[in-house]
Structure 1
């Protein structure tokens, strides 16, 4: 046993890089909503990027260390502390039995990733350790739970103590983001005025979870006719627009098919920004070349 959960916080789950190859059976990708921070956390402690981490959303997590180990915390600054002292982010840190780790709440970003040498142990289902609560595949951590590492720490692991990611590689979590969008085949279903406005239109993040991020604008996108289509495959990054004209960006736990029009897909390498954006943050959608409003 590595950690004892004393307070579970808003939402803390075990995640890896997801459940690949099962979307045709209705299983979403799942996995880390911010795979960039997840990979970095694993890299710092010497793990493959595919190893499982703890995804800590919004903070509130408090836990006791039960055995010495090497860990790293990346992603959002959730005001993490160790024994009431600031915990260094983006760095390999040796923790000792009895240490108290706490994530008080978001300063920059909303999701932290905690990696341990050898990875977090969790039941492997369909090739992944990722929790997907909607289908009953695992659950969020709760007070009283224990978290296990896949193996004990060794001397080779501890040799990485103090290793840190260069500051030039660390993402900055801004409250204003620009997302590159690859145009979709439903563009002709929106009015030319709506499409033309996208280049400068400001959206606000109205709310988000692991399934998607709902945007809001005072000038909703307008459909020429219906917002409904025959259901077709969707994926993380798909930007759906329902009848209200407000876009929804699908994320890791998104459904596998959808019946709403889509203006396109956010580029995969930009999605981490959505994962870390606070509610009320500003979003701009930059349509990539290859479409025309004329």
Structure 2
């Protein structure tokens, strides 16, 4: 068991999500940054879909009640194991009673803690991903116990995987044209790709952008949306849907992020700047 001594700001158990229930209105959910979650699992020899602990801006404080191996990947939140700073992207052996905590955020927004064979929380609709109204809770809380399988065989820590700095510092967000993109005038389209947008309110459901685009689009019937869909509201505000987004929406869908750009956006913070770069249809 992993005992949660302090839950951090917004921490939850996530795997790659639910993909077979959108027709019932069930969101995909899953890790916001698939690259670093998969990387953590790969370093441990886990299945890439094994559940990890996702932390946002502020890390947890935990106690391990069984020996295992762990990896931390993603944003640098100054991890400390038994009062000693540890590196990202390397396997670490932990013993019963060891404690892990996090400190100052240096870069990025989300970081991932993986354990050998993954966290063994309940599967609901073929996924362990927390989501309010699907799972009993949407985030972990201080005092929770998260199950995992004990693994006493120690592993070496010679891995040296380079940090993908582009994910954290690159402002370019690659997008495809959305179904209603051509509703925009040429001037609106040019403004869309020549404006440096700043991130406003954001969470696992959506990122709002501060700058606006004049909206003269006709209304549409409620239609399917996906993580990465960018909607244009009547007020001209842009909303980028993320992993916990709804399955349908009634605002024009003017752009669609590619998968790598969802990952980059998941590591951006309030007031960070982004630029949209249009991709050709494959």
What TM-score do you get using the length of structure 1 for normalisation?
A: 0.90
**Can you list the C-alpha shifts for 1:26-79, whole angstroms capped at 9, x where unaligned?**
001011011111000101111010100000111141111222210000011011
For residue 40 of structure 1, give the secondary structure of its aligned residue in structure 2: helix
Structure 1 residue aligned with 2:247: 256
Q: Does structure 2 conserve the Cα–Cα contact (< 8 Å) formed by 1:175 and 1:282?
A: no
1:223 is aligned to 2:215: yes
For residue 174 of structure 1, give the secondary structure of its aligned residue in structure 2: helix
Structure 1 residue aligned with 2:235: 244
Q: Does structure 1 conserve the Cα–Cα contact (< 8 Å) formed by 2:204 and 2:243?
A: yes
Q: Does structure 2 conserve the Cα–Cα contact (< 8 Å) formed by 1:190 and 1:221?
A: no
Q: Report deviation, 1:171.
A: 4.3
Structure 2 residue aligned with 1:180: 174
Structure 1 residue aligned with 2:150: 152
Structure 2 residue aligned with 1:198: 192
Q: Does structure 1 conserve the Cα–Cα contact (< 8 Å) formed by 2:181 and 2:254?
A: yes
- Structure 1 residues 225 and 184: CA distance shift in structure 2, 3 A: closer
Q: Does structure 2 conserve the Cα–Cα contact (< 8 Å) formed by 1:175 and 1:281?
A: no
**Cα-Cα RMSD:** 1.7
For residue 10 of structure 1, give the secondary structure of its aligned residue in structure 2: coil
Structure 2 residue aligned with 1:113: 112
For residue 35 of structure 2, give the secondary structure of its aligned residue in structure 1: helix
Supply the distance in 1 between the matched residues of 2:203 and 2:77 (Cα, whole angstroms).
17
Structure 1 residue aligned with 2:15: 16
Supply the distance in 2 between the matched residues of 1:139 and 1:185 (Cα, whole angstroms).
31
1:214 is aligned to 2:208: yes
Unaligned runs of 5+ in 1: none
Question: How many residues are matched?
Answer: 281
What TM-score do you get using the length of structure 2 for normalisation?
A: 0.94
**Can you list the C-alpha shifts for 1:67-126, whole angstroms capped at 9, x where unaligned?**
221000001101111122212110000012222211224211111111111110110001
Q: Report deviation, 1:199.
A: 2.4
The 5 A counterparts of 1:26-41 are: 26-41=25-40
Q: Report deviation, 1:173.
A: 4.4
Q: Does structure 2 conserve the Cα–Cα contact (< 8 Å) formed by 1:198 and 1:286?
A: no
Q: Report deviation, 1:242.
A: 0.5
Within the candidate set 268, 275, 292, 2:259 is matched to 268
